Amino acid sequence: MGRSDFLCAGLVILLLHLIPGILGWGKLGHYATCKIAEAYLTKGASAAVKSLLPRIAEGDLANVCAWPDQSRFRYRWSSALHYSDTPDFRCNYVFKRDCHDTKGQEKRCVTGAINNYTTQLMSYKDTYSSKRYNLTEALMFLAHFIGDVHQPLHVGFVGDLGGNTINVHWYRRRSNLHHIWDTLFIESAMKTLYSEDLGVMIKSIRKNITDGWRDELKNWGDCAKARVICPGSYASESIKLACKYVYRNATPGTTLDDDYFYSRLPIVEKRLAQGGVRLAAVLNRIFTRKSLVLQQWD
């Protein structure tokens, strides 16, 4: 790498840190969500997913679940699609009110994007209309955004950019609340509880799905009115969690350590689990049912 390339790369990395609110779960969180989903895919859905994956995925959806974060410079239009914040201190989610980009263009947010890419993927079996879309990209976007909408601060308050402007300490390290929820929770959990191994963490979450959350599990994949997908409900859960647990005791300048970590880690793990189970549920519905009615926009 030449000096100017090096400077360029440095600048890009710097910019990535300055741009708020567009990252979603970090690489590890997206990988975990998709890996959890894989275990719940039907044979038919799994085959359809494999047929759409790009070569770089090496046959594994989890390998490309962070792709939309890596493509956001090429696809600048997509940066608004990773989140959907609510007005300050409003702890409910209203699609009409909250789903828009910074210019106010409607439906350009994470829940709108989930609806859009679900609709695109539903043309999979229809040779004529599927040609209108790039279904490989639609699959990677959908898998990623279902992960994002489960990260509570991707449905946080507009005023603090989903926690991006709340500067705090994570143990001894300076950070912001958004980054802690995207990445540092999972990194710290791996370090202290899972021998630095994401596979061990995923295994533990899977065990919890079948043991601890078994009673709730059957409802996770369902949507009211037999909808294919209900991102508005996932967003509602996120903003409620943000209000009740994420923002609480995390005012600017505070140090978040063991108390915060151990009391909130179960939320992080449950959201990864729910994202995975729901991703599988929607892919199963899309690829294995003959006729589907998608009720747009909730």
Report the interface residues with Zn ion, using CB under 5 A.
Answer: 24, 82, 148
- Of 24 and 232, the one with the shorter C-beta distance to Zn ion is 24
| Residue 126 CB, nearest approach to Zn ion (Å) | 29
How many whole angstroms separate alpha carbon 207 and alpha carbon 196?
Answer: 18
| Residue 145 CB, nearest approach to Zn ion (Å) | 7
- Of 48 and 198, the one with the shorter C-beta distance to Zn ion is 198
| Residue 144 CB, nearest approach to Zn ion (Å) | 6
- Of 46 and 231, the one with the shorter C-beta distance to Zn ion is 231
Buried b (16+ CB within 10 A) or exposed e, 121-148: bbbbeeeeebeebebebbbbbbbbbbbb
- Of 48 and 272, the one with the shorter C-beta distance to Zn ion is 272
How many whole angstroms separate alpha carbon 28 and alpha carbon 30?
Answer: 6
- Of 113 and 198, the one with the shorter C-beta distance to Zn ion is 113
| Residue 222 CB, nearest approach to Zn ion (Å) | 25
How many whole angstroms separate alpha carbon 75 and alpha carbon 88?
Answer: 29
| Residue 4 CB, nearest approach to Zn ion (Å) | 29
Classify 92 in phi/psi space as left (phi over 0), alpha (psi -120 to 50) or beta: beta
| Residue 104 CB, nearest approach to Zn ion (Å) | 21
Q: Which residue is nearest to Zn ion (CB)?
A: 24
Alpha carbon distances (Å) from 133 to 95, 170, 173, 267: 25, 42, 44, 36
- Of 147 and 232, the one with the shorter C-beta distance to Zn ion is 147
- Of 237 and 287, the one with the shorter C-beta distance to Zn ion is 237
| Residue 56 CB, nearest approach to Zn ion (Å) | 18
Query: Which strands, in side-by-side order, build the sheet including 167-170?
Result: 173-176, 167-170, 255-256
